[in-house]
Structures are given as structure tokens and as C-alpha cells.
Amino acid sequence: MKREAQAVVLLLIGAAVVRAGSTDLYLRYVKAGLRPLLLTAGIVLIVVAIATVWYELRRPRTPQGNQPEPEHQDPDSPRGHTHREPRISWLLLLPLFALVLVAPPAPGSYSAMHAGTALQHPGDFPALPASDPLRLGVTDYAGRAAYGHGRSLEDRRIKITGFVALDRGGDPYLTRMVRSCCAADAQPVKIGLSGKMPPAMPADSWLEVTGTYTRKRMKDPVNGGAIPFFKVSQARSVPAPRDPYEN
């Protein structure tokens, strides 16, 4: 590619990155805390593109009769014949169009049930607020239930939101994908559901469940990790949250 074309590609990529970072689109790719870095990277790309164009416009042009030997001249071809840049290089724009036009969905129930739980011992368990019902994330509840033996959850009415994943037998799990950095490293944390369940729970539908802690647990058949259970007293469908991941 010529430098002007390279500058156009950089400008388009930078604009796409800034657009994604200035909307909720970026949450499909990276965690919320990386937004400032994403915006900075996009702005740097735009500045580099503008600087490249400015440099090319101000660079003195060599007179036609005194042109230097072309860089890509074929030694076996007639003098003055140069190769054109391969058009396939413009395929570099395809990922850009994918970023702008097709936002990938967050991994769902299929990914969750084919990957082992990412639940790990959280270490310390901070004190919980006295609110009723107590709202917890899937990872927070699962960690306290599996590794804190439910001591901070006893006699509490709890509310949790997640998407439904079904195993081969049709048993439901409330699930959230957890990521350390970006969507590529997302892994599931699962909670088994018991109690008063809705008659129909399609996979990947989002539920807000209210209920209580139960000592019931099982081993994840994929990696043997702990899957605690939650006793549901009430459940309702909810729209997918702005950020479907837990960090």
C-alpha cells in the first residue's frame, strides 16, 4: 500500500475504535475498566493517520525527468516498469467492517456448558449489606456458597441475575461469563437451580431469581469444579444487561 492508503486505513480503524469506546459496543470486546486505554489507542491512530497525510502533502515532489529508480522495479522488465501493489492488501479492511457492522454476541449457553466452571476461591469475603433482598452476582454467590460454606448467606433472601444454560438432561443453571481482560478469555461460572422454577426456560434467556442459599452442590462434569445450588422462590424474565460479563 502507498502511504496515503495506509493513512486512510489507520484513520478508519482509529475512528472505529473511538466509536466502539464511546458507546457500549466496546463491552463486547474488553472489560469496562479498559475504556480509557481503548479511546487513547483510537485517538493515537487517528493522529498518526493525519500526520502521515500531512507529511505526504508537504513532501517535495521529484521532477518527472529526475525520478529515482523505483523501489519495486523488476530487473528483468523494461526500464521504468514497476509492480503495482497487490489489491489483496485491501482485505485488511475486512476486520474493520466487522467491528463496525457486526458486533459479536457474548458467549452463551453452548459455550458455558462445554467449558468447566471458572469458579476459584475468592480469598476474603467482605461483609454484605443489610439490604433485603440482598443482590449478588453469580460469581459472588457461588464463591460464598462453595468456599465460604454459606456462612454469610444463611437466613438471607437473595436476588441474582444471569442467563439460563441447560445440560443434556435439561437441568437449568444460572450462568455468567467471567473475563479477566477481554472476551477471548471469558469462562463460565454456574449455579444450579432448584425450587420453584418457571415452566419454560429457553437456553440463553435472562432470569432474575429470588430465593435462599442451599447446601446442595455438585461437581462440574467438564472440569470437576464446584457448582453450588440456589433455591428459587421467585423467578422472572429480564432483558440482557448492558454488560453481560462479570469481571
Domain ranges within the chain, ordered by starting residue: 3-101, 109-246
**Class (C level, CATH) for 109-246:** mainly beta
Backbone φ and ψ of 216, nearest 5°: -65, 140
pLDDT for 149-166, tens place per residue? 898 999 899 999 999 999
Angle at 235 between CA 229 and CA 238, to 5 degrees: 115
Backbone φ and ψ of 143, nearest 5°: -65, -45
Backbone φ and ψ of 91, nearest 5°: -65, -15
pLDDT, position 64: 54
Q: Is the pLDDT of residue 78 over 70?
A: no
Give residue 45's Cα distance to chain centre.
Answer: 22
Across the range 172-197, mean pLDDT stands at 87
pLDDT, position 222: 92
Peptide bond into 133 cis (omega under 30): yes
pLDDT for 190-239, tens place per residue? 999 999 888 888 999 999 999 999 999 999 999 999 999 999 999 999 99
pLDDT, position 89: 60
Angle at 59 between CA 53 and CA 61, to 5 degrees: 120
| Cα distance between residue 214 and residue 195, in whole Å | 10
Q: Which of 146, 169, 166 is closest to 226 using CA atoms? A: 146
pTM of the model: 0.68
Q: Which helix (H) or strand (E) holds 188?
A: strand 187-195
